[in-house]
Amino acid sequence: MIQQYSEDEFESFMTAMKKMSDILCSKKPDYIFAPILGSVPLVDVLSIMNRHFPSENLEYPPNSSRFLKREEIINKWYSNFVEKNYQGKKMSIVCIDEVISGSSATKGYDEFYKTLYDLSKEKGVSLERKINYEILGIGEKPRSNKRNRSFTKLVNKKKAKVLETKRIITADNSLLNPIRLKKGGLNPQGRQVYLPEIEFISYPQEYLVFLYNVATSIGVNPDNVNPVNIMKMQESLERYLRD
């Protein structure tokens, strides 16, 4: 089996993920968003680190440029999420995400607040003051060593925080991500785009070894470790995309 990461990269990744776990425990957000294309492995790691991780508060938005008709899909998902879950009181949301340039995380943030603005006009209530959305990212340096300027502004305004690692070992690695989405063809740039539907969930040996390494590194019995929220992933996508 080809080694997916070095020991040094793994230790750096785990240090950043432990910080993420500690911050989530401290903040206790009402909801945790885990973008379906990149954050599923992060959820499995957090669940191993904290046996009380609030997986019941997790939602999986289709927040990625790799979705066909992204803006239409994510605005519908966000709108239905707010309609179904906002009860008039203050609500806190933390989106856990992979951050390299930060452009995708920024777009998700902007689209969320655009949805709140549109709903506020419709309802006559200032939802932007009632619902707080923050980004908590695990990050590696982009090739240019500079992140998206808009994302940097969010960091400076304390709307985003990045926990740096030498390498996000799960990023863009199908062997370390169990989700397989239905393909939607190619975009104008020739890049594969996807539909917001899970075709199947696969746990290759490399992913199981990864979870084993996570467990043993923090002193958890690997025999008691399992991926979480298998049914919730599809349910979260479908529930908030229904008409």
Within a domain: residue 214?
yes
Q: pLDDT tens across 172-220, in order?
A: 898 999 999 999 888 888 888 999 999 999 899 999 999 999 999 999 9
* Percent of the chain whose predicted confidence (pLDDT) is above 70: 99
Question: How high is the pLDDT of residue 66?
Answer: 87
- 3-state SS, residue 31: strand
Q: What confidence category does residue 2 fall into, taking pLDDT thresholds of 50, 70 and 90?
A: low
Model confidence at 153: pLDDT above 60: yes
The Cα–Cα gap between 34 and 83 comes to: 19
For the chain, the average pLDDT equals 93
Within a domain: residue 133?
yes
Q: pLDDT tens across 35-64, in order?
A: 998 899 999 999 999 989 998 999 999 988
Question: How high is the pLDDT of residue 100?
Answer: 94
Question: Which carries the bigger pLDDT value, residue 176 or residue 1?
Answer: 176
Q: pLDDT tens across 111-133, in order?
A: 999 999 999 999 888 999 999 99
Within a domain: residue 2?
no
Query: What is the count of structural domains for the chain?
Result: 1
The Cα–Cα gap between 215 and 210 comes to: 9
Within a domain: residue 1?
no
Query: pTM value?
Result: 0.94
Within a domain: residue 230?
yes
Within a domain: residue 216?
yes
- Tell which residue, 19, 171, 10, 179, has the closest CA to residue 100: 171
Within a domain: residue 162?
yes
The Cα–Cα gap between 228 and 243 comes to: 28
Q: How many CB atoms lie within 10 A of CB 179?
A: 20
* Percent of the chain whose predicted confidence (pLDDT) is above 90: 77
Question: How high is the pLDDT of residue 191?
Answer: 86
Question: Could you list the residue range(s) of the whole structural domain that residue 54 is in?
Answer: 7-239
Model confidence at 1: pLDDT above 60: no
* Span 19-37, average pLDDT: 96
Helix, strand, coil shares, percent, the chain, to 5: 45, 20, 35
The Cα–Cα gap between 217 and 240 comes to: 37
Within a domain: residue 29?
yes
Tell me the backbone φ, ψ of residue 97, rounded to 5 degrees: -155, 160
Question: How high is the pLDDT of residue 61?
Answer: 96
* Span 214-231, average pLDDT: 90
* CATH number, residue 23: 3.40.50
Question: How high is the pLDDT of residue 186?
Answer: 86
- β-pairing verdict for 58-59 and 31-33: parallel
Q: What confidence category does residue 109 fall into, taking pLDDT thresholds of 50, 70 and 90?
A: very high
